[in-house]
């Protein structure tokens, strides 16, 4: 092995030579690989481009995600365009990235994200534009494959509901070339009819590639502009399609879409059943209202009687208060009298005492006489009212030989024309009831008697 003894490189010099060599020969290149260890610090992205056991350190300065058609992430296959350079501080070469784009399937993802951002910015995903699903969609248009399981699943679930719906199928192509146009024609077809209440569009599962027709921008706009409410049921629980975002309701599978229809039907059927039961109960209560009104009037008489009793109690309380006031009055007069006596003895005013005493006893007699007379008047009034109430009581009328006649509805009968031969009636007397069957009916008017 031979060495050039004339030239000894410093670390800095040899690093510079290597950098000049690399940057001079790889000034602007494109490198493909898989993103690994992706990190962003201060708007700079640091990551590895990996291919099997080989890695290339890379950096994307001043990363501006808005200029990219996708969000970089670990595991993506990308093509990075830029230049090779040497990082002197570590003696490592790295790729300084200027642009980045996805490879293969990544292009489809980027296209999906671009369409999604575009439609979202135009407001096509806003809830304010979502149409409410009809409660009872009697005619349902289904856009799906004629050979797939989706249409069978939908028909099976909807047939289990209480209401039978008409299902119209539009046999569409749901994958492959021109499949998006087939789906668009299905939306247009059902919108041209006047008897369709709801549209279900979708397919029964499949790979991510099978989802692509439902990411078509034109299809998304047609679904959004549909006059008929649309349920999107593409069959991918974890993945969302453009159709899912613009439709009025998104279902994970065709089965779930059909179940939504049945569940809304059952919910409103239960509400309708409750309202009918309420109306029926209200009608029954109304028919028995006459008897309740009659009993209420009797109850009001009792309440009036109770009111009189309360007035009497008030009189008793008044009498008690009068007694207490009389005692207090006498006590106060006695105190005043003692005070005056004391003064009389001091001032020798015997004549004054005699005058005050006579006036005092006279006032006491008048107070007692007036109180007794007032109590007697109130008591007499109460007894008169009680006698009138007792005389007018329905129970007293029954005791005098009268009865209350009712039919099975318990409504009192006041007109013989309301009874016909063969009716069963009930007669309430003072001490019991009599159940009778009408043999003949006689009624009287001002001219003659008829049978």
Residue 351, pLDDT score: 64
pTM as predicted: 0.43
Q: Across all residues in the chain, what is the average pLDDT?
A: 81
> Are the beta carbons of 54 and 92 closer than 8 angstroms?
no
**Residue 220 corresponds to which tokens in the numbers above?**
């998304």
Q: 3-class DSSP state for residue 200?
A: strand
> Are the beta carbons of 153 and 258 closer than 8 angstroms?
yes
**Residue 242 lies inside a defined structural domain of this protein:** yes
**Residue 391 lies inside a defined structural domain of this protein:** no
Residue 180, pLDDT score: 92
Structural domain containing residue 72:
11-103
| Tens digit of each residue's pLDDT (9 = 90 or more) over 347-377 | 555 666 667 777 777 877 888 888 788 888 8
Does one domain contain both 179 and 71? no
DSSP 8-state code for residue 412: B
Number of residues that this document lists for the chain: 451
Does one domain contain both 132 and 204? yes
Residue 445, pLDDT score: 63
Does one domain contain both 74 and 166? no
Give me the CATH number covering residue 57: 2.40.50.140
Percent of the chain at pLDDT exceeding 70: 78
Task: Enumerate helices (H) and strands (E) in the chain, giving the number of each.
Answer: 10, 15
Which residue is it, tokens 């109130």? 378
pLDDT reading at 240 higher than 50: yes
Q: How confident is the model at residue 168 (pLDDT cuts 50, 70, 90)?
A: very high
Does one domain contain both 95 and 142? no
**Residue 60 lies inside a defined structural domain of this protein:** yes
Q: 3-class DSSP state for residue 192?
A: coil
Q: How confident is the model at residue 242 (pLDDT cuts 50, 70, 90)?
A: very high
**Residue 112 corresponds to which tokens in the numbers above?**
């999906």
Does one domain contain both 243 and 321? no
Q: 3-class DSSP state for residue 447?
A: coil
What one-character-per-residue DSSP string does 127-138 give? GGGPPPPPSS-S
- Identify the weakest region by mean pLDDT among 103-112, 182-191, 285-294, 413-422: 285-294
What is the distance between the alpha carbons of residues 320 and 188, in angstroms, rounded to a whole number? 94
Please, which residues have CB within 8 angstroms of residue 96's CB and are 6 or more apart in sequence? 58, 59, 61, 82, 83, 84, 85
Does one domain contain both 226 and 141? yes
Residue 446, pLDDT score: 44
Does one domain contain both 145 and 249? yes
**Residue 113 lies inside a defined structural domain of this protein:** no
pLDDT reading at 197 higher than 90: yes
**Residue 305 corresponds to which tokens in the numbers above?**
């009687």
**Residue 330 lies inside a defined structural domain of this protein:** yes
Does one domain contain both 258 and 158? yes
Pairing assessment for the beta strands 166-171 and 139-144 based on DSSP bridges: parallel
- Identify the weakest region by mean pLDDT among 70-79, 97-106, 124-133, 418-427: 97-106
**Residue 408 lies inside a defined structural domain of this protein:** yes
Does one domain contain both 139 and 237? yes
Please, which residues have CB within 8 angstroms of residue 112's CB and are 6 or more apart in sequence? 215, 242
Pairing assessment for the beta strands 249-250 and 230-233 based on DSSP bridges: parallel
**Residue 299 lies inside a defined structural domain of this protein:** yes
Does one domain contain both 132 and 263? yes
Q: Which residue has the higher pLDDT, 340 or 149?
A: 149
Total count of domains within the chain: 4
What is the distance between the alpha carbons of residues 67 and 114, in angstroms, rounded to a whole number? 11
Does one domain contain both 91 and 19? yes
**Residue 283 lies inside a defined structural domain of this protein:** no
- Identify the weakest region by mean pLDDT among 239-253, 266-280, 412-426: 266-280
Does one domain contain both 38 and 168? no
């Amino acid at each position: 092995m031979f060495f050039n003894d004339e030239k000894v490189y410093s670390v800095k010099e040899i690093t510079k030579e290597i950098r000049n060599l690399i940057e001079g020969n790889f000034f602007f290149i494109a490198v493909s690989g898989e993103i690994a260890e992706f990190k962003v610090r201060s708007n700079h992205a640091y990551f590895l481009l990996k291919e099997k056991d080989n890695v290339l350190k890379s950096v994307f300065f001043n990363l501006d995600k808005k200029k990219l058609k996708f969000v970089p992430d670990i595991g993506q296959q990308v093509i990075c365009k830029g230049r090779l350079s040497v990082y002197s501080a570590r003696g490592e070469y790295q790729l300084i990235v200027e642009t980045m784009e996805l490879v293969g399937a990544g292009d489809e993802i980027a296209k999906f994200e671009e369409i999604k951002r575009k439609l979202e910015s135009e407001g096509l995903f806003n809830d304010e534009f979502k149409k409410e699903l009809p409660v009872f969609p009697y005619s349902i248009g289904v856009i799906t494959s004629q050979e797939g399981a989706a249409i069978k699943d939908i028909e099976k679930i909807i047939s289990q509901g209480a209401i039978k719906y008409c299902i119209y199928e539009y046999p569409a192509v749901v994958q492959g070339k021109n499949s998006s146009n087939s789906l668009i024609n299905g939306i247009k077809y059902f919108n041209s009819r006047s008897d369709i209440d709801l549209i279900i569009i979708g397919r029964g599962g499949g790979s991510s590639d099978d989802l692509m027709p439902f990411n078509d921008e034109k299809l998304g706009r047609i679904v959004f502009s549909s006059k008929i409410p649309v349920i999107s049921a593409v069959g991918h629980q974890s993945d969302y399609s453009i159709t899912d975002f613009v439709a009025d309701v998104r279902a994970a599978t065709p089965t779930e879409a059909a179940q939504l229809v049945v569940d809304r039907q059952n919910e409103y059927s239960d509400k309708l059943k409750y309202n009918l039961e309420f109306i029926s109960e209200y009608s029954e209560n109304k028919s028995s209202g006459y008897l309740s009104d009659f009993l209420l009037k009797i109850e009001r008489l009792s309440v009036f009687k109770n009111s009189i009793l309360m007035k009497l109690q008030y009189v008793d309380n008044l009498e008690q208060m009068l007694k207490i006031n009389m005692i207090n009055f006498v006590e106060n007069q006695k105190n005043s009298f003692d005070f005056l006596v004391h003064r009389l003895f001091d001032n020798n005013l015997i004549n004054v005492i005699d005058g005050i005493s006579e006036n005092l006893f006279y006032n006491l007699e008048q107070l007692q006489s007036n109180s007794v007379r007032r109590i007697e008047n109130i008591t007499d009034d109460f007894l008169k009212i009680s006698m009138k109430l007792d005389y007018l009581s329905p129970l007293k009328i029954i005791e005098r030989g009268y009865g209350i006649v009712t039919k099975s509805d318990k409504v009192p009968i006041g007109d013989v024309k309301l009874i016909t031969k063969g009716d069963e009636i009930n007669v309430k007397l003072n001490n019991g009831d009599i159940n009778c069957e009408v043999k003949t009916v006689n009624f009287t008017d001002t001219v003659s008697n008829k049978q």
